[in-house]
């Protein structure tokens, strides 16, 4: 990895260079082929206020370059914020590569499925099952339960295995269906 550090209207001290180099070395954790990193630090004065501008240009092999420009009153803070943005951009590129594997034609052929076998396997047999949860009940028992509750109807099985509905009518009486 080639690293070039430059200063415009600003002299880069050894401490600033060391901070930039250690910050750039943290980008290696994404295991991407970084060809070069170019850093330009400059001091600008706007409206009587002086602020620092840091521009990172990160060239990656077989990918687009990452260009980040960060302004701040403090040069060290501008470097740190720019590095965090660079890490975020590299993390996005790394995640795209690792999560989106391309499936080749040979892998697709290996996963071919015989249509007749899947058709035969998918034929379902319906087996009626009697649930123990719905035991046959007497109409009188359901009527007393309905009177005690706030429900407007109750569905149950009677002793002839018929599904019955007991409901409250508008006139206060009960209906059975």
pLDDT tens for each residue of the chain, 177 residues long: 888 999 998 889 999 999 999 999 988 887 788 889 999 999 988 888 888 999 999 998 888 889 999 999 899 999 999 999 999 998 888 888 776 666 666 666 666 666 666 666 666 666 676 655 667 888 898 899 888 888 888 888 888 888 889 999 888 889 988
- Quick one: 75 and 7 in the same domain? yes
State the Cα angle at 16 between 12 and 18, rounded to 5°: 120
- Quick one: 39 and 88 in the same domain? yes
Phi, psi of 84 (to 5 degrees): -65, -40
pLDDT at res. 133:
60
Is residue 68 one of the residues assigned to a domain? yes
Is residue 94 one of the residues assigned to a domain? yes
- Quick one: 83 and 151 in the same domain? no
pLDDT at res. 130:
62
Is residue 117 one of the residues assigned to a domain? no
pLDDT at res. 108:
62
Sheet of strand 174-176: strand arrangement: 153-157, 163-168, 174-176
| Domain around 172 | 139-176
The number of folded domains in the chain is 2
Is residue 39 one of the residues assigned to a domain? yes
Is residue 53 one of the residues assigned to a domain? yes
- Quick one: 10 and 81 in the same domain? yes
Instruction: Report the 3 state secondary structure along 125-173.
Output: CCCCCCCCCCCCCCHHHHHHHHHHCCCCEEEEECCCCCEEEEEECCCCC
Is residue 63 one of the residues assigned to a domain? yes
Is residue 110 one of the residues assigned to a domain? no
Helix pair angle (75-99, 14-25), 10° resolution: 20
In three-state secondary structure terms, 44 is: strand
Is residue 129 one of the residues assigned to a domain? no
Q: Is the dihedral of CA 2, 22, 66, 39 positive or negative?
A: negative
Q: What is the CATH number of the domain that holds 157?
A: 3.30.505
């Amino acid at each position: 990895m080639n690293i070039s550090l430059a200063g415009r209207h600003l002299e880069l001290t050894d401490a600033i260079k060391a901070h930039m180099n250690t910050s750039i070395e943290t980008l290696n954790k994404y295991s991407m082929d970084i060809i070069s990193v170019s850093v330009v630090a400059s001091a600008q004065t706007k409206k009587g206020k002086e602020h620092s501008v840091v521009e990172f240009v990160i060239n990656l092999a077989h990918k687009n370059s990452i260009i980040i420009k960060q302004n701040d009153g403090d040069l060290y803070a501008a470097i740190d914020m720019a590095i965090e943005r660079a890490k975020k951009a590299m993390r996005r590129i790394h995640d795209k590569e690792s999560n989106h594997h391309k499936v080749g034609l040979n892998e697709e052929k290996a996963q071919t499925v015989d249509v007749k076998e899947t058709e035969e396997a998918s034929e379902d047999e319906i087996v009626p099952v009697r649930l123990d949860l719905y035991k046959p009940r007497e109409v009188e028992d359901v009527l007393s339960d309905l009177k005690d509750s706030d429900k407007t109807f109750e569905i149950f099985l009677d002793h002839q295995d018929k599904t019955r509905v007991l409901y409250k009518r508008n006139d206060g009486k009960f209906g059975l269906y």
